[in-house]
Structure 1
Amino acid sequence: MSDEGYEKQYIQEAFDSNWIAPVGENIEQFEKELSLKVGCSSAVALSSGTAAIHMALKAAGIGKGDIVFCPTLTFAATANPIIYEGGVPVFIDSNKETWNIDPKALEVAFHKYPNVKAVLVVHLYGLSADMGTIMRICQKYNVPVIEDAAESLGTLYKGQQTGTIGDYGIYSFNGNKIITTSGGGMLVSNNVEKLSKVRFWSTQSRDTARHYQHSELGFNYRMSNILAGIGRGQLKVLDQRVAKKRNIFEYYKNELSKLSGIEFMPVNEWNEPNYWLSAMTLNGKVSPLEIMETLERENIESRPVWKPLHMQPFFSEFDYIGGNTAESLFDQGVCLPSDTKMTDGDLERVVDVIKEVWR
């Protein structure tokens, strides 16, 4: 059998074994296979990437009033679990070199909040953050690092998989991610003891007893055996997906970089992205809205870059540290169609529409 099509086999095995609940062979194997793929000691398959962030924060000891540093340029799902645990997010600006958390602003944040309890790092659109510098800063202050690698499964920082560099890493298998279980996530760590505790919490904290007994607050966060089967099949094609995403990005960059005012998301020499989304900024006469509306008229979907969290109504009360880089990326950014099922003709059509705007 080719690498395509394993999903149905694993799902059928789950039905044949009558294990379709959040327990079974697929879950155990998916955790082992993903751990092996990324080079990590332990993994727990969960219901979403958001659940994985929540469990990572709980494992890191975040509680009421605890400060957690978080990049502002990310989806709300990164920061929401801080609130779940009663923590206080402090948002940090991006830098132009990575589009991710700015180490200089992070240093400023540590001086302002020396009692911070954790740092959340995001690898935006599959671009690795500057993990070497970030880890040196966080280790200096003895603060745990949680990597939100929801968008970056398959991305390498200096040869190491993102999500495995900090104390905890999370992956998302939502329907729009590079591989999917339709909905799901994974928490990884080399701290096997902590992940064993996460496995306990995520199954309603059921104590070892003949009767149902609970000594701690629990969560219904485990992935189902069916979805884990889909994940096992999808994991087999991860490298192919990354290669396809890279080709999409390189096609866009080759065709559109020559247009005045267009710059593409940065790829550093130490970064091997998975190119989850191909994003660009517009600094000339054409606005992102004009591009998005023109594509929309041709029934082609595109998106703005994430709106910074410190600009969001819900998070406006929390502190923000940095300049205006994240706001500029939001104002100037466009995410182009990047699905791995796109044909050469689809890519040409997107490029032709954008070029026509310049004409």
Structure 2
Amino acid sequence: MSDQCCGDPTVPARRIHLSPPDVGPAEEALVVAAMRSGWVAPAGPDLDAFEREVASRVGCGHGLGVSSGTAALHLALLTVGAGPGTVVVVPTLTFVATANAVTYTGAEPVFVDCEPTTGNLDVDLLPDLFDNLRRRGRRVAAVVAVDINGACADYHRLLPVCAAAGVPVVEDSAQALGSTYEGRPAGSFGRLGVFSFNGNKIMTTSSGGMLVSDDPTLVSRARRLSTQAREPVAHYEHREVGYNYRLSNVLAALGRAQLRRLDGMIERRRALRERYAKLFASVPGARILGDGDAGSNCWLTSLVVDPATAGWRADDLGEHLAAHDIETRPIYKPMHRQPTHRGRQAVVTGAADRLFATGLSLPSGSTLVGADADRVFRITAGFLERHR
């Protein structure tokens, strides 16, 4: 049974999505201008400008706009040397694209568990893992750090551990554009950083992504690979396998408009996070994942529930909201539990398994305002009252 809109029983309430795109007249104007300019192919002045603007926002010297965050991650891993015979350390609590990009290079992903309070990579597990891999003669091409829900990994501890082992860090900031860690922008900590502009991200280009770095050699290498590795001659000459990964100029125009609105979109997501935190503050056994991280862009707000204390499960709330046409999603199923990656080496403590079993991501989009936001919180509060 759906909640009704504006009190009129004849008008069904519209579906509320987890994190829908937030676009409007500003995006339309720049996209139309890009189309009218004639630069419709995957090159042009808006793409060049978008790369500069994102790199500047992140505090990196160079940017490369590509077709997806996955493509950006694939290129980043290739440029740091991931390939057959190497391993790449990946958090087990992540979206599957992080692990899949490793396999695209021919490298083997090795999964590491997360911190239970943030969901980010557990740095304490790395030193013994590095020693174990070294004793077995395995070369670690990279560690991929994922900034879960927009909250940065613990780079203060992670970077020295990786530097001591001679292992580069690739920062998967697909969810974290606009976030900071100790005052420094997400995406600027690794040898390369990666962003996603998928439709559900903090800002979107419909589909798309970007690679950023201060190393011009790495970005130049990735740029070449992203355009089928064509040699600089008049005819088509290719001496290695490349990829068709460039972002189109039209989508880059959409991204430029989104980037100008980014701070406002982040503020609305933070306001939702604060409202959720207040709602659940007095609920025994319930907590917000990563709550208290002032630098997070609050891309998603995820609830973690201890059913023994709360008397209800996270998926009970999810089912209740679904009955009112409100979308939620479990926290990521760990990579070491995924059929496609089952059997790979993993260092686990059970933290990611527990978050998957007890977590629920709540509607968090920057379009969730006014009556729609009130509806989500009213229905959630009603569920809590019945389970008090």
Unpaired runs of at least 5, structure 2? 1-22
CA gap of 1:81–1:26, structure 2 versus 1, over 3 A, is same
* Aligned residue in 1 for 2:383: 357
**What are the residue-to-residue correspondences of 1:86-235 with 2, within 5 Å?**
86-114=106-134, 115-235=139-259
Deviations 1:208-231 (A, max 9, x none): 111111111110000001000000
CA gap of 1:164–1:17, structure 2 versus 1, over 3 A, is same
Please state whether the residue corresponding to 2:81 is helix, strand or coil. coil
Q: CA deviation at 1:174?
A: 0.2
CA gap of 1:349–1:9, structure 2 versus 1, over 3 A, is closer
Q: CA deviation at 1:268?
A: 5.0
Deviations 1:39-71 (A, max 9, x none): 100000000000000000000111112110000
2:51 to 27, 31, 48: 31
One-letter amino acid of the counterpart of residue 40, structure 1: C
Q: CA deviation at 1:267?
A: 3.7
- Matched residues in 1 for 2:91 and 2:125: separation? 10
One-letter amino acid of the counterpart of residue 96, structure 1: P
- Matched residues in 2 for 1:345 and 1:262: separation? 25
Q: CA deviation at 1:168?
A: 0.6
* Aligned residue in 2 for 1:293: 319
- Matched residues in 2 for 1:12 and 1:349: separation? 35
Q: CA deviation at 1:15?
A: 2.1
Matched, 1:321 2:344: no
TM-score (norm 1): 0.96
Compare 165-174 and 90-99 and name the one that shifted more.
Answer: 90-99
1:127/1:267 contact within 8 Å kept:
no
Q: CA deviation at 1:301?
A: 0.6
Unpaired runs of at least 5, structure 1? none
* Aligned residue in 2 for 1:341: 367
* Aligned residue in 1 for 2:331: 305
Deviations 1:296-350 (A, max 9, x none): 1011111100000001111112011030011111111010001111123323322
1:4/1:237 contact within 8 Å kept:
no
* Aligned residue in 2 for 1:83: 103
- Matched residues in 1 for 2:167 and 2:284: separation? 43
* Aligned residue in 2 for 1:277: 300
TM-score (norm 2): 0.89
- Matched residues in 1 for 2:151 and 2:366: separation? 17
1:40 to 42, 60, 68: 60
Please state whether the residue corresponding to 1:272 is helix, strand or coil. coil
1:5/1:233 contact within 8 Å kept:
no
1:267/1:273 contact within 8 Å kept:
no
Runs of 4+ residues over 6 Å off in structure 1: none
- Matched residues in 1 for 2:292 and 2:169: separation? 22
Please state whether the residue corresponding to 1:53 is helix, strand or coil. helix
- Matched residues in 2 for 1:154 and 1:198: separation? 23
Identical pairs, percent: 38
Deviations 1:269-313 (A, max 9, x none): 6x5000000111011211111111110101111110000000111
2:67/2:207 contact within 8 Å kept:
yes
- Matched residues in 1 for 2:312 and 2:377: separation? 15
* Aligned residue in 2 for 1:11: 31
1:98/1:130 contact within 8 Å kept:
no
Deviations 1:181-203 (A, max 9, x none): 00000000011111011111101
1:302/1:336 contact within 8 Å kept:
yes
Please state whether the residue corresponding to 2:140 is helix, strand or coil. coil
Q: CA deviation at 1:18?
A: 1.2
2:303/2:314 contact within 8 Å kept:
no
2:279/2:381 contact within 8 Å kept:
no
- Matched residues in 2 for 1:148 and 1:19: separation? 30
One-letter amino acid of the counterpart of residue 124, structure 1: I
Q: CA deviation at 1:4?
A: 6.5
